[in-house]
Structure 1
Amino acid sequence: MNKKVGAGVLTSVMALGVLAGCGGGGTGAGEQKDAQGGAASGGTTELRLYTYGTEQAYNWSQTVAAYEKQNPGIKVNVIGLSDKGDTQEALKKLDLAAASGEAMDVLMFSDAASYSQRVALGMVAPMDDYIAKDGFKVTEDYKVDTKINGKYYALPGKFNPWYVLLNKNMLDEAGLKVPTDWTWDDFMDYAKKMTKGEGANKVYGTYFHGPQNGGWVEYAKLALENQADNPDFIKADGSSNLDNPLFKKSLEIRLKMEKQDQSATPYTDMLSQKLNYRTQFFNQKAAMIAIGSWMNSELGGTDQVPLNFNIAVAPFPKNNAGDQGGYSPVATDYVSVAASSKHKDEAYKFIRWYTTEGQLVQGKNVPAWSKVKQEDMSKIIDTILSGTKNPEKVDKASLISVLGASKSGTIVPPATYQAEINKMVNEEFEKMVLGKQDLDTTVKAAQDRINSIIASNKK
């Protein structure tokens, strides 16, 4: 573990523990069955699963019931950390629960930085012995490699490549076709053509939900993320990737769309009004959004966010027309055994099931499990969309085409100090977009700061 970053986060977690002692505990604190760390009465073993995933988005009741039916004597208690599925809120509550000494068995992380940081803190247990005993290779059984520092601390759940959701009604009104192969220049052109209105009634061509608070940094590296190799702020060898011209291009896209074309929702509006990508898109305040395909389970509309128009799906844009397409950021859930768990064997067994067969039972996401055949994709999508209010309003053919062609570039194992890098890029981006420094100054400052961060973490 890096001592500098680990100590900083650990201090925060310990501080949360003090607050917990004063404030009466975090989420799930009152739900512990006994003092044995999860063993319920009658000889039943209780597994406590901490997750940001809501019932609506993850179908926990059905999923857990299926597992408990197959495994008598096991009870899975789902501890929801955010009613809204807010990953940052959930992470804070997870740290609070850990600092409070709550019984934990299975932990779910929504991004690589959060996952790697908790690995560095010793919060999760390695799975290598279990994987070796089961006789499979993660890189063969899953589409996402979760290895950190030569060990596996998680197995991946869903496989959610990013794509572009489009308001098909607005697309038709502007006389535009659903893109099947396009570039960021095309994306910007579409956004300009679909921007209309003024003031409170203005509809923007697109909405970017970040970066903010050190998260959602995908929106600060748009042109980097469609690459087969080195799609992140740091390279696989641990050196900076911010001297890559595509980092500067990523910032140029954001700057041009907001300041020059005025086709993207202002960053200040996102922050001051606490905007959300779901409501911006479904309330038709933005004609299209680049977002992760975790949205599949909501595309047809929900009780909370209804759908009143037709939706089409386009692939994540390329940089140049001649580039190979399909590459995009990929989101997954990192599902880990808690280091403090008193039921590690049972926790691992549940995780292995959940990240394979359990994904099909859950029926909410395309699995990262590579054993799912391509020809089964249509059935999976039907199952996912059937849980929405108006699946008929979704252009299923475009959705299946995009998901089928999507692929992850070479995944760079996240540094244990990834969150520190993300926060720094966020800070420099914010200075630029708020007019406090120009593009070249932003790029140079980010390059200098990332090199300093890398150097300090090698000590």
Structure 2
Amino acid sequence: MNQKGKRKLSIAACLMLTFTLLLSGCGSKTGTDTSAADSGSGGKNEQVTIKYYNWDNADQTPKTDALLKQFEQENPNIKVEHVVLVPGNSQEMLKKLDFLISSGEAVDVVAMPSLGAVNERAARGALAPLNDYYKASNLVPEDEYYVNPKIGDKYYGMQLTNSYQYVLLNKDALDEAGLKVPTYGWTWDDYRDYAKKLTKGEGVDKRYGSYFHTWELYMNAPAQTVMKNPFRYEDGTSNFSDPTYKYFFQLRKDMETVDKSAKPYSDVLAAKLNYRTEFFNGDAAMILSGSFMTPDPGNTEQYPHTFKTAFAPVPLPPKNAEPKDYEGGKYFVGGNHVVMGASSKHKEESFKLMRFMTTVDSDSKMEFSGWKKADNNAVLNRLIGKNSNMYDVDSLKSTLFGEHNQFLEASQVVSTTDSEMMSIEDDGFSKFMLGNTPIEEVQKWMVDEATKVIKEKESK
């Protein structure tokens, strides 16, 4: 080969080598960019590990583990580590979670016990908004969940469970008194009338028409059941001035002292009574409670009784006692939520796990779902079990899933004073029930104390 030919071959070889290096360089750069872009998603083939935090007790942990294993099988590129922060104690779990967040730990998915717990952490930037992920998945939150934690126009959680409130009634006592099972639209005045007619006997053998326990739920039931926030108006001010407080405090006192259809509050406190025992022992014919009691009528081994239990929606406030922010018979609905930490490095995977946890159907699920498209009748059948004869099933289904069921949108009030508000309500209620302080004076004291707490704690 002559010198000219060798030169052409050398140039061709150099060009080929340069082209190869360019391809290699481009490929390397593309790989780096993809890795950086997918640092929150792990890429298509790279397996990532995310953490799911909650407060499961010993009975709940295996059920959650089974669900997470199912998720991993359906999503082989995502491994989930189940972290139980404080077994069986949601409030202590929140304290530990806050410590992890403040220490800079990357937090992926967390179960939250309440809407308030979500709002409080979202407001201080600890949670990631879900808007972009909903949009990418073509999902409208209001079409998916009953309650959507939201601050401004940003969504911060998915409803995991749905907790209803209802009234349990002794069906045998109703039949004996010639009373029908109440339906949607009955009021607290009607409840008082039912309680009078269901009261029977004297002394140790007396059956009261109603039992009210020591929780805030029984101090002002309308505030707890038909208002978005039990202690605040949506403008952030205390709602202790609301007409429902005067009405329900007086109703409670009249049922004890005038009608004698409810066991005295002083006796409930002194004897440290158990609300389940009072109802299933036949000492009270009605009790306001929540859907966590759904399995109890069928559990005759733990709660021995022979009567059938009927169910009714929570009574509504009468015309003279409607809340200031009343929305025409819509109910507050509680439940747990799942949220995504702002510090998560795998947000797409976290969103995928959140959707799975809130929408998956499993025989191990024993709580009603916050997902609107879930088969909650299947959950109900699991909760009732084999002892359906102990239930007035029609009234239970109508109460839980009837056409009347409309739920309030989530409150956007961000509060850090709930524990103080509970204490003020407890003290105010005790002043009225156990003493002779007029209701107007009690209510003014409650408003003044609440306003003071809000200014001191939240104006900083």
TM-score by length of 2: 0.74
2 CA distance for matches of 1:272 and 1:90? Answer: 28
Q: Which residue of 1 aligns with 2:452?
A: 452
Q: Once the 2 structures are TM-superposed, how far is the Cα of residue 303 of structure 1 from its aligned partner?
A: 5.8
Q: Once the 2 structures are TM-superposed, how far is the Cα of residue 336 of structure 1 from its aligned partner?
A: 2.1
8 Å contact kept, 1:140–1:370: yes
Q: Which residue of 1 aligns with 2:208?
A: 204
Q: Which residue of 2 aligns with 1:30?
A: none
TM-score by length of 1: 0.74
Tell me which of 49, 71, 75 is aligned to 1:71.
75
Q: Once the 2 structures are TM-superposed, how far is the Cα of residue 399 of structure 1 from its aligned partner?
A: 1.2
Q: Which residue of 2 aligns with 1:423?
A: 423
Tell me which of 395, 400, 404 is aligned to 1:398.
395
8 Å contact kept, 2:119–2:149: no
2 CA distance for matches of 1:306 and 1:363? Answer: 26
2 CA distance for matches of 1:348 and 1:306? Answer: 44
Q: Which residue of 1 aligns with 2:373?
A: 371
1 CA distance for matches of 2:205 and 2:277? Answer: 15
2 CA distance for matches of 1:105 and 1:199? Answer: 57
2 CA distance for matches of 1:330 and 1:124? Answer: 22
Tell me which of 113, 137, 142 is aligned to 1:139.
142
CA shift digits 1:255-313 (9 cap, x unpaired): 22234333334334444444443343334333221122233344422764456431111
Aligned-residue identity in percent:
35
8 Å contact kept, 1:292–1:331: no
Q: Once the 2 structures are TM-superposed, how far is the Cα of residue 444 of structure 1 from its aligned partner?
A: 1.2
Q: Which of these two proteins has the greater Rg computed from alpha carbons?
A: 2
Q: Once the 2 structures are TM-superposed, how far is the Cα of residue 149 of structure 1 from its aligned partner?
A: 4.8
Q: Which residue of 1 aligns with 2:12?
A: none
8 Å contact kept, 2:123–2:414: no
SS at match of 2:183: coil
1 CA distance for matches of 2:179 and 2:114? Answer: 34
- Taking structure 1 as reference, are residues 396 and 133 closer, same or farther at Cα in structure 2, changes over 3 Å only? same
SS at match of 2:338: strand
The alignment yields a C-alpha RMSD, in angstroms, of: 3.7
Matches within 5 A, 1:435-446: 435=435, 437-446=437-446
1 CA distance for matches of 2:87 and 2:194? Answer: 35
- Taking structure 1 as reference, are residues 332 and 97 closer, same or farther at Cα in structure 2, changes over 3 Å only? closer
Q: Once the 2 structures are TM-superposed, how far is the Cα of residue 71 of structure 1 from its aligned partner?
A: 3.1
AA aligned opposite 2:372: S
Q: Which residue of 2 aligns with 1:356?
A: 359
CA shift digits 1:299-334 (9 cap, x unpaired): 422764456431111111122389997533311112
Q: Once the 2 structures are TM-superposed, how far is the Cα of residue 150 of structure 1 from its aligned partner?
A: 4.2
8 Å contact kept, 1:166–1:289: yes
8 Å contact kept, 1:105–1:344: yes
- Taking structure 1 as reference, are residues 99 and 273 closer, same or farther at Cα in structure 2, changes over 3 Å only? farther
Matches within 5 A, 1:262-411: 262-301=260-299, 304-305=302-303, 308-320=306-318, 327-338=330-341, 344-358=347-361, 362-372=364-374, 378-386=377-385, 390-403=387-400, 404=402, 405-411=404-410
8 Å contact kept, 2:158–2:354: yes
8 Å contact kept, 2:148–2:409: no
Structure 2 residues not aligned, in runs of 5+: 1-46
- Taking structure 1 as reference, are residues 56 and 50 closer, same or farther at Cα in structure 2, changes over 3 Å only? closer
Tell me which of 148, 172, 176 is aligned to 1:173.
176
Q: Which sits farther off after the overlay, 57-66 or 405-414? A: 57-66
AA aligned opposite 2:394: A
CA shift digits 1:174-217 (9 cap, x unpaired): 33221124211121122233334555554432233343xxxxx3
CA shift digits 1:24-75 (9 cap, x unpaired): xxxxxxxxxxxxxxxxxxx783634313577469953554443343233534
- Taking structure 1 as reference, are residues 393 and 451 closer, same or farther at Cα in structure 2, changes over 3 Å only? same
Matched positions, count: 401
Tell me which of 197, 200, 203 is aligned to 1:193.
197
Structure 1 residues not aligned, in runs of 5+: 1-42, 84-88, 212-216
